[in-house]
Structure 1
Amino acid sequence: MAKKYTPEQAEKWGWEELVASIGAPAGYIFISIGLALVLLLKPIGWVYLIIGIVSTLVMYFVMDPKLRAVSDEYERRQAEFLKHVESISKWEGKDE
């Protein structure tokens, strides 16, 4: 799961997005139901709470490498753009 992605690979949809699209709602639902049942002192609430936490962790570890690759590429492009804007605003790079 700890795979390195290039920005181009991270943009393509695959099994990771399927896991995330199933895991995210499942995690929220199980955590919500589990917490409610724990507050009502029902022992099954702990099971639901643990399932929700595990679902959330799986989703995080599956999607995080792809999100980091996209984020790193965005930061690189943003730095290039800011450098370009700064050079234009200082009138650099133009032949006088």
Structure 2
Amino acid sequence: MAKKYTAEQAEMWGWEELLACIFAPVSYIFVSLGLALIILLIPMGWVYLAIGLIATVLMYLVIDPKLRAISDEYEKRQAEFLKHVESVSKWEEIK
């Protein structure tokens, strides 16, 4: 799961997105149920909360490398754009 992706690879959907789509609702449901049952003093809530937290960690581990690759590419594009805008604005000032 600690794979390095290029921006093009990260844009393509694969098994990582499928797992993230499964883990996301599972984590929300189990964390919500777990907290509700803990508030009601039902011990099974701790089990549900643990399952929800494990699903959350798994979702993060699966999808984070792709999100980081996309974010890095976006930051590069943004830096290039800002350099371009700065050069254009300097040209306007010189003129």
TM more than 0.5: yes
Q: Which runs of 4+ in 1 moved over 2 A?
A: none
Partner of 1:13: 13
Give the share of equivalent positions with the same residue, in percent.
73
C-alpha displacement of 1:42: 0.5
1:25-44 matches, cutoff 5 A: 25-44=25-44
Alignment partner of 1:42: what SS? coil
Q: Which amino acid aligns with 2:34?
A: G
CA distance in 2, matches of 1:19, 1:55: 10
CA distance in 1, matches of 2:16, 2:43: 32
Could you tell me which runs of 5 or more consecutive residues in structure 1 were left unpaired when the two chains were aligned: none
RMSD: 1.2
Residues 13-72 of structure 1 show CA distances to partners (whole Å, capped at 9, x for unaligned) of 000000111110110000000000011111110110000000000000000000000000
Question: Normalising by structure 2, what TM-score?
Answer: 0.95
Partner of 1:2: 2
CA distance in 1, matches of 2:18, 2:84: 38
Could you tell me which runs of 5 or more consecutive residues in structure 2 were left unpaired when the two chains were aligned: none
Number of matched pairs: 93
Question: Normalising by structure 1, what TM-score?
Answer: 0.94
CA distance in 1, matches of 2:63, 2:20: 7
